[in-house]
Chains A and B, each alone.
Chain A
Amino acid sequence: MADKILKKLNIKVWRQNRASEKGKFETYKIENVSTGSSFLEMMDILNNDLIEKGIDPIAYDHDCREGICGICSLYINGRPHGPDTEVTTCQLHMRKFKEGETIVIEPWRAAAFPVIKDLVVDRIAFEKILQAGGFVSVNTGGVPEANSIPVAYDDAEESMDAASCIGCGACVAACKNSSAMLFVSAKISHLAKLPQGKIEAKQRARNMVAKMDELGFGGCTNTGACEVECPKSISITNIARLNREYLVARISE
């Protein structure tokens, strides 16, 4: 458990200066990284090295570094968020890597998530899906007293399981079809499991699915890759619920 020093690592990373330019892999060496460092601290060290050598540092999204904001989005050694389970890239630690290893880092690859620069992708498509219906239509003020709407313990827990989605996009990156079904279904379940959200459930399912299809995400073929890579363990049973909600919505049209 005591931290060790990884003397040498090779970092093979996707470099692309702009959306409009072509990208390619570059390999950099990095030395003396503590196994107690986080993956992104390793990236900070590498970037400071690059700056000192006069090379433009690698752009990547990161913010809270506590695994909750969902902005970090690296595809590491062929896996979204890298070789650990139930973590985001920012919680991945260097103890998961071996001395001398070549670590391959790519951006999320999906038609709906175009690259902005290097490892930074544009996830505005997720925003648009949520804007299409991922809410309860209540204004501020004039709402009932909180305890006047009891919610069964298990329903609240199931809702919370789905609401844990951080909107990172690992599900899309992991899916061979680049499907956003896990992401969409998490929002559908979060709200459908609560009495407050039930009222608009049909409309919500219809609008969000239509928007998802329009934005170029692929269809779901039930491979389950999304669930495996989801840092928050969002279950694919949510997709079953979404299909059910969607079917009901279409039948009742």
Chain B
Amino acid sequence: MSILESKIPEGPLAEKWNKHKASIKVVSPANKRKLEVIVIGTGLGGASAAASLAELGYKVKSFCYQDSPRRAHSIAAQGGINAAKNYQNDNDSVFRLFHDTIKGGDYRSREANVYRLAEVSPNIIDQCVAQGVPFGREYGGLLANRSFGGVLVSRTFYARGQTGQQLLIGAYQALNRQISKGNVEMYNRHEMLDVVKIDGKARGIVARDLITGEIKRFGAHAVVVASGGYGNVFFLSTMAMGSNGSAAWQCYKKGAFMANPSFVQIHPTCIPVHGDQQSKLTLMSESLRNDGRVWVPKKSEDAKKLQSGEIGANDISEEDRDYYLERRYPSYGNLVPRDVASRAAKERCDEGYGVNSEGKAVFLDFRDAIERLGKNVIEARYGNLFQMYEKITDVDPYKQPMMIYPAIHYSMGGTWVDYNLMSTIPGLYSIGEANFSDHGGNRLGASALMQGLADGYFILPYTIGDYLADEIMTPKTDVSAPEFEEVEKEVIGRLEKLYNIKGTKTVDYFHKKLGQVMWDHAGMSRNAEGLTKAISMIQEIRKDFWKDVKVTGEMDNLNPELEKASRLADFLDIGELMVRDALNRNESCGGHFREESVTEDGEAKRDDKNFANASCWEFKGETEEPVLHIEDLVFENVKLTQRSYK
């Protein structure tokens, strides 16, 4: 019997959420005013939660490490947001969105959570429109839709290639309104460095004021972590430079289990790595695969000439092009899910058909779409993406195909939460990308925005009341309590330790080393031997890091190197746990591809008998190995089948 209680309500799938809402407690307006909630992060999850909780009457303290809540990395999401509106009359429904998401996640997410996500998705669009989000529209004035990978209907709403930006601005506007009313205290340029528990419950945080370096204590009746994903473990990713896993990791060290940490998404359409001076990878939206065709040369001699620069893409005739996604997956073609598209690109490049000088790129070609629709239409659809591509690569994608390659993009794994989005620490919630619950082994395009806003606008504001209803007699948290003192001491000790190493190597030096190990052994393709080796390699890097890192600047001043060092210390630990989890999960599913578990035609082969579950890790101390707990996933409404996009 697992110690993890998922608290999934009884009853038919379609009635669970309504029944649950009817059964949970509600806090009166007079009591809400006395209750404080801390929200970490101001992306779609954090901003929407902070605003919605403040509207309800709770006193909210909101934190972001950037200079403004509007900078959170949700802003960079390009393509769109899914919702089961069925505006296109193409037979979409809540059940179909639910089914696509469960199947897309390779049957490693919770039915009840995913159904709820699909169920509230139409409300999100209503909410955003009311806030003034300028979604793309048809000439009749109604909302437009586009298609995304892994589905056969058009249910994705968009604002050009800047959907995340516009949704975040909507949530940020709502947040600003609550700040101006005094219901949210906003702490910009503050980074949470630890969570404080009193009598086992989350009661506050310790944070660093990034401008003055001051370590500060903040109390509350509940803490919500909406700090996003940990993809920067890999050094090179599409995440923002400051995106980090530290908030979630400190919660883990205080008792919040981490679930499926090895599940990270590798996005197929990113601008390829050039040279060794790069700090960051750039995503090109999945929506491009609506009109772009992915190909490499059929003949290896053509590939060699491309790699040496002797010929260009346009020199290769139609019959010598291998549109390998259309060839392998005729029914979904270029719109297969991300994990499938990424692996297929890697397979071609590993076979020697890569098209750039490093042999690590494939073409994404708009020639046929431009011929069919005209340049104007393509420009209207993707103009800003084409412009961005040209600025970065100096190549005009209207004339030559884009070059793309997979890159780390999203973490499906994260803090374990129950149906109420509460972690294993009472009063500590995790929402959006920071939690593990909705995307299983692979996230479908345009579903991250949906989840962040679903959690923040429509789920957490209900479920947190059930917990806070029992806290109405709890007085305001006293931050002079010994528990705060102790955590503050730990935090200062950790920072001083890093600062005083005064070694010889920069933070980036160690981060690049960690990233290389992760990419080589825990990236797109994993095996037991490599993963076992990776554990000791990471331990070695960690040992060197704590001996030889050089942190310059001052403790009591803005100090980006200290921030980076502190985050990297946690990435080193997160990386090791990811590798352990990947090693433990001896099956392939979604983005987690174990070379030992492959079907005859090279697809990911699940082992439902042993691994239809979430692997949840419990911290046992710096020198102890973590303990694994299993939450079995029960599927009553979908049949587990080999995922096929043929």
* A residues in contact (CB < 8 Å) with B: 1-3, 17-18, 33-34, 36-38, 40-41, 44-45, 48, 51-52, 54-57, 59, 61-71, 84, 86-87, 91, 93, 95, 116-117, 120, 122-124, 126-127, 130-132, 134-141, 143-147, 149-153, 156-157, 159-160, 163-164, 166-167, 190-191, 193-194, 196-197
Contacts and interface: CB of A to CB of B under 8 A. Distances in A.
Interface stretch (B271-279, B599-607, B628-636): B271-279
A177 B238 CA distance: 37
A40 B160 CA distance: 26
Interface string B53-87: 00100000000001110111101100000000101
Contact of B71 (A71, A140, A153): A71
Contacts of B70: 69-70, 167
Interface of B: 48, 51-52, 55, 66-68, 70-73, 75-76, 85, 87, 122-123, 125-132, 134-143, 159-160, 162, 165-166, 169, 172-174, 176-177, 179-180, 186, 188, 211, 238, 240-242, 274-275, 277-280, 282-283, 309, 387-388, 391-395, 457-458, 461, 504, 506, 508-509, 550, 552-553, 557-561
Most interface-central of B172, B277, B457 (chain A CB within 10 A): B277
Instruction: Report the 9 A-B pairs with minimum CB-CB distance, sorted nearest first.
Output: A150-B141, A135-B173, A143-B130, A160-B134, A159-B134, A131-B180, A140-B52, A146-B129, A69-B71
A143 B124 CA distance: 10
Contacts of A57: 552-553, 560-561
A163 B558 CA distance: 31
A3 B275 contact: yes
A56 B134 contact: no
A159 B242 CA distance: 30
B391 A132 contact: no
Nearest to A2: B309
Contacts of A44: 279, 508
Contact of B550 (A51, A66, A86): A51
Nearest to B131: A136
Contacts of A191: 132
B274 A56 contact: no
Contacts of B142: 147, 150
A122 B188 CA distance: 11
A36 B141 contact: no
Contacts of B553: 56-57
B132 A197 contact: yes
Given A71-B66, A164-B162, A152 B277 contact: no
Given A64-B71, A137-B177, A144-B126, A54 B391 contact: no
A169 B394 CA distance: 26
B180 A196 contact: no
B50 to A, nearest CB: 11
Contact of B461 (A45, A66, A140): A140
A93 B134 contact: no
Given A62-B241, A146-B143, A34 B173 contact: no
Given A37-B278, A135-B173, A156-B135, A120 B558 contact: yes
Contact of B180 (A71, A132, A145): A132
B494 to A, nearest CB: 20
A50 to B, nearest CB: 8
Given A54-B552, A123-B67, A151-B137, A135 B126 contact: no
B77 to A, nearest CB: 9
B560 to A, nearest CB: 6
Q: Which of A65, A93, A135, A167 has the most CB of B within 10 A?
A: A135
A193 B278 CA distance: 41
A17 B172 CA distance: 31
Given A57-B552, A137-B177, A190 B132 contact: yes
A19 to B, nearest CB: 9
A48 B508 contact: yes
Contacts of A139: 52, 55
A124 B558 contact: no
Contacts of B52: 139-140
Nearest to A165: B169
A166 B70 CA distance: 9
A113 B177 CA distance: 23
Nearest to A84: B391
B137 A122 contact: no
Given A140-B127, A143-B129, 19 more contacts: A17-B557, A36-B275, A36-B394, A51-B561, A57-B561, A63-B241, A64-B71, A66-B388, A69-B66, A70-B75, A71-B71, A86-B387, A87-B391, A122-B67, A123-B68, A127-B188, A137-B177, A141-B457, A194-B132
Contacts of B504: 52
Nearest to A145: B126
B131 A65 contact: no
A51 B550 CA distance: 8
Interface centre among B52, B241, B242 (most CB of A within 10 A): B241
Query: A interface, by DSSP: helix, strand, loop or mixed?
Result: loop
Given A145-B126, A150-B141, A140 B391 contact: no
B454 to A, nearest CB: 12
Contacts of A52: 504, 506, 550
A68 B130 contact: no
Contacts of B130: 136, 138, 143-144, 149, 196
Contacts of B242: 63
B240 A69 contact: yes
A40 B277 contact: no
Contact of B159 (A18, A40, A145, A160): A160
Contact of B73 (A1, A17, A64, A134): A64
A116 B277 contact: no
Contacts of A153: 137-139, 141
Given A140-B55, A196-B130, A163 B561 contact: no
A30 B279 CA distance: 17
A156 B129 CA distance: 11
Contact of B277 (A41, A54, A122): A41
Nearest to B561: A57
A227 to B, nearest CB: 17
Given A66-B283, A69-B66, A136 B138 contact: no
A126 B560 CA distance: 23
A211 B457 CA distance: 29
Contact of B76 (A1, A66, A122): A66
B388 A67 contact: yes
24 contacts: A40-B279, A44-B279, A56-B552, A59-B559, A61-B67, A62-B241, A69-B73, A91-B388, A93-B391, A123-B67, A123-B68, A131-B177, A137-B177, A138-B131, A143-B126, A145-B126, A146-B129, A153-B138, A156-B134, A156-B135, A156-B137, A194-B134, A196-B131, A196-B132
B165 A45 contact: no
B391 A91 contact: yes
Given A130-B173, A135-B176, A151-B137, A140 B457 contact: yes
Contacts of B238: 66
A167 B68 contact: yes
A63 B73 contact: yes
A158 to B, nearest CB: 9
B176 A65 contact: no
Nearest to B274: A36
A100 B170 CA distance: 45
A202 B71 CA distance: 28
A132 B143 CA distance: 30
A148 to B, nearest CB: 9
Nearest to A120: B558
